[in-house]
């Protein structure tokens, strides 16, 4: 296991470097959340998900839904590294007519399972997939990531009520809990605590993890598979901009791309880790 974790940590760091290069090339995009969730994406795509890049539409593949679609640079970087499409495509991010737009488009490239832009919709999309799996008798699992600022949206809580009422134990919801949204700290804009108690009151099985501890992430996802009567939500406590000190916990980097000087500085930090 320690060797596997080290391998995944290196993958996460490689993904962060790709994100910096992509955003520098595009000149726009969301840096902070992409860096902050790299460890989660490395764990999901290189350890947890039942997927096959050579058969991206296999009937019983696990589904991953990205609700906070603005962090799609890390999703694109992950899919490329996992072999879903050539890495060279990454440098077309946000370019005219590119398949890799600033928010994901359903099946624009293999592995993209949903469209997202307006926040608050991803959990509902994932619920639909989970219901379909139950109706069809399929064994796949649905994973969905939302941001924490996104929990300001009422639709999220409608879906959160629906899931336990239908016993959807085949869904794992991951909340990127970095406590930051586009205009500042979530606590200052629209407080969502006590988040764990709220989710438990909706009858979710709640696990809290360090979103940068890959072993904890893997263990939590494995635990979710053993919960039989209700859905599981993982509150992943993360640091926006993780790995680049001048970006960490600074809401300015929620929706900003680095300039050449900043990118060089960021890459130097990441390569020294």
Tens of pLDDT along 75-104?
Answer: 999 999 999 999 999 999 999 999 999 999
The CATH code of the domain that includes 191 is 3.40.50.970
Handedness of CA 254, 218, 10, 79 (dihedral sign): negative
**Residue 2: per-residue pLDDT:** 67
Per-residue 3-state assignment (H helix, E strand, C coil) for 183-237: CEEHHHHCCCCCHHHHHHHCCCEEEEEECCCHHHHHHHHHHHHCCCCCCEEEEEE
Instruction: With a cut of 70, say whether residue 1 has pLDDT above it.
Output: no
Number of domains, the chain: 1
Residues 109-147: pLDDT tens digits? 999 999 998 899 999 999 999 999 999 999 999 999 999
Range of the domain at 89: 2-271
Residue 23: name the closest of 267, 272, 259, 273 by CA: 259
């Amino acid at each position: 296991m320690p060797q596997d974790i080290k391998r995944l940590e290196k993958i996460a760091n490689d993904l962060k470097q790709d994100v910096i290069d992509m955003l520098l090339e595009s000149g726009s995009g969301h840096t902070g959340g992409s860096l902050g969730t790299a460890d989660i994406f490395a764990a999901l795509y290189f350890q947890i998900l039942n997927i096959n890049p050579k058969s991206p539409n296999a009937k019983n593949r696990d589904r991953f839904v990205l609700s906070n679609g603005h962090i799609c640079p890390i999703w694109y970087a992950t899919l490329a590294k996992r072999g879903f499409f050539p890495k060279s495509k990454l440098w077309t991010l946000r370019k005219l007519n590119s398949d890799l737009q600033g928010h994901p488009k359903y099946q624009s490239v293999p592995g993209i399972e949903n469209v997202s832009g307006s926040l608050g919709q991803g959990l509902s999309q994932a619920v639909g997939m989970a219901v379909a799996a139950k109706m069809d008798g399929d064994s796949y699992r649905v994973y969905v990531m939302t941001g924490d600022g996104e929990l300001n949206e009422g639709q999220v809580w409608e879906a959160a009520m629906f899931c336990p009422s239908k016993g959807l134990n085949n869904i794992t919801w991951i909340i990127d809990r970095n406590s930051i949204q586009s205009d500042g700290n979530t606590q200052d804009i629209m407080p969502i605590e006590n988040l764990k108690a709220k989710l438990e009151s909706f009858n979710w099985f709640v696990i809290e993890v360090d979103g940068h501890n890959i072993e904890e992430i893997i263990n939590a996802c494995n635990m979710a598979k053993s919960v039989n009567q209700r859905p599981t939500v993982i509150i992943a406590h993360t640091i926006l901009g993780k790995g680049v000190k001048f970006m960490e916990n600074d809401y300015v980097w929620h929706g900003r791309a680095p300039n050449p000087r900043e990118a060089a500085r960021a890459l130097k930090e990441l390569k020294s880790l």
